[in-house]
Copies of this chain bind each other. A is one copy, B any other.
Amino acid sequence: MTDRTTDPTAAETGSRAPSRRALIGWGGAGLALGAAAAGGAVAMARTGEDVDPAGAATGGAVGFHGAHQAGIATDVQDRLHFAAFDVKTDDRAEFVRLLKDWTAAARRMTAGLEVGEGAHGGLAEAPPDDTGEALGLKPSRLTLTIGFGPSLFEKFGLEDRRPVALSELPQFPGDNLDRSRTGGDLCVQACADDPQVAVHAIRNLARIGFGKVAIRWSQLGFGKTSSTTPDAQTPRNLFGFKDGTRNIAGTETARLKKFVWVGDGDGPDWMTGGSYLVARRIRMNIETWDRTSLQEQEDVFGRDKGEGAPVGRAKEHDAPFLKAMKPDSHVRLAHPDANDGITILRRGYSFTDGTDGLGRLDAGLFFLAYQRDIRKGFIPLQRRLAASDALNEYIQHVGSAVFAIPPGVRDKDDWWGRTLLTEEA
C-alpha cells in the first residue's frame, strides 16, 4: 500500500477535481507550465470496492487503485469510448512493458493529468508525450477498465490460465454478428462525463501501444441507459423506455459480491476481485419501432412508457407483477425472479453512428454486462431472451465480445494484468 491509499487526506485532495493541465514541460516548446508540479506526487483519489463519493459529486477524479477496477461499480458516467484491440506482438516481455506503460498512463489520465514523459520526453524532434486535446478539461470522472479476451490466452501460451467462466458465447437465435465489430484480444472501457476526455484516453493508449496493439473496433456511447445509483432517475433508451430500473447499485456490496466480483474460491486465483464482461452491439430498428402503437410498445417492454412503471403498477420502482405481463414481454423474461435469480450489472450506452446505406439511423444500445461467471450470467439470460423476447422483432445483435476483467491495480507499483502475467495460478 502506498501513502496515498492509506492517507485519507491525499484521497480528498485528489477528488477536488484538479484542472487537467500540462504538468510536463512540452517537448520543444520551451514552456515551463507546471514544471514544479511535474516532480511532485500525483494526487489521486482512493478507491476500493466503493465509488469515490466526492469525485462523483464534483465531477472530479475517481480513484484508480483498489481491489477492483474502477468503471464497474462506479456510478455510470455520461459518456463511453470503448475499444477492442488486437495484439500485434508475440513477445511476452514487450507485452508486459506495454501493460506497465498503459497502467502508468491510465493512472495519470484518471487523475486529470496528461500522459507522463515517455521514451521521447524532452526531445524536440519527438512527438509530444500527450496528444493534448484534453488540456484544460477536468478529470470528468474518467475511469479506464481493461479486459483480456479469450484469444489473448492463446497468443501468449496462457491457455492453462484461462478462466472457464470466460466462456465464448453460443450463436443465439437472431444474432447477425459483424466480424469487424466482434472479438478482440484486449479491451479498454473508457467512461467519463466529457466525451473528449474518454476519446483522449483511448487515443493515447492506442498511441502508446503503436506497433504492439491496434484498435480492432471501437464504440462511442452517450446517455447512460442504466444507472447504478438507485435514487437517480433512470435514463431512457432510444426506444423511449426506462431501462435498467432494477440494476445493481455501486453501493450494494452484498449483491456485487454475489453477482459481479470473482470470489476467493471461484478460481483462477489471478482473477480474484475481477469480473467478466460481455459487450454486445445491439442495433435498434428505430424506424420500425417508431411506427408501432404505444400499446404494442408497452406490451413489448412490460412497462408503461411515461412513468416506466411495470404493467399494473403505478411507479417505476414498484415491484413488477410478472404474471400481469404478456409472456413474451422483455421485463418479464429478463427479470431475476423468472431466471433463478440471475442478475448482471449493466452499463449500457446508447449509440448513433450516422445512417446506414438505406437511410436508416445506425443507432441502438451498446450493452455492457458485468458478472461473476458468463456461464451463469449472460448466457442463460440471453438464451431465454433470444428465444422468446417480443423485443427481438425490433433489435438485432450485430457485435459481440467477452473479456476477463482482472482485479484492480493495488498501488503505484502495481500494473494491469500483473496477476495473470507474473504469478503462478
Contacts and interface: CB of A to CB of B under 8 A. Distances in A.
Interface in A278-303: 286-287, 289-295, 297-298
A124 B406 CA distance: 50
Nearest to A127: B291
A27 B295 contact: yes
B125 A240 contact: no
Contacts of A339: none
Interface string A233-274: 101111111000000000000000000000000000000000
Contact of A28 (B83, B136, B294): B294
Q: Which of A135, A235, A305 has the most CB of B within 10 A?
A: A305
A33 B309 CA distance: 13
B290 A203 contact: yes
Q: How large is the interface on A (under 10, 10 to 19, 20 to 34, 35 or more residues)?
A: 35 or more
B124 A294 contact: yes
Interface in A9-51: 22, 26-29, 31, 33
Interface string A94-134: 00000000000000000000000000000011111011111
A341 interface: no
A306 B26 contact: yes
A290 to B, nearest CB: 5
A398 interface: no
Contacts of A218: 352, 354-355, 361
Nearest to A28: B295
B355 A26 contact: no
Contacts of A195: 222-223, 352
8 contacts: A28-B298, A31-B304, A127-B293, A131-B239, A132-B236, A195-B352, A215-B359, A220-B352
Interface of A: 22, 26-29, 31, 33, 81, 83, 86, 124-128, 130-136, 180, 194-196, 199, 203, 206-207, 210, 214-220, 222-223, 233, 235-241, 286-287, 289-295, 297-298, 304-307, 350, 352-355, 357, 359-361, 363
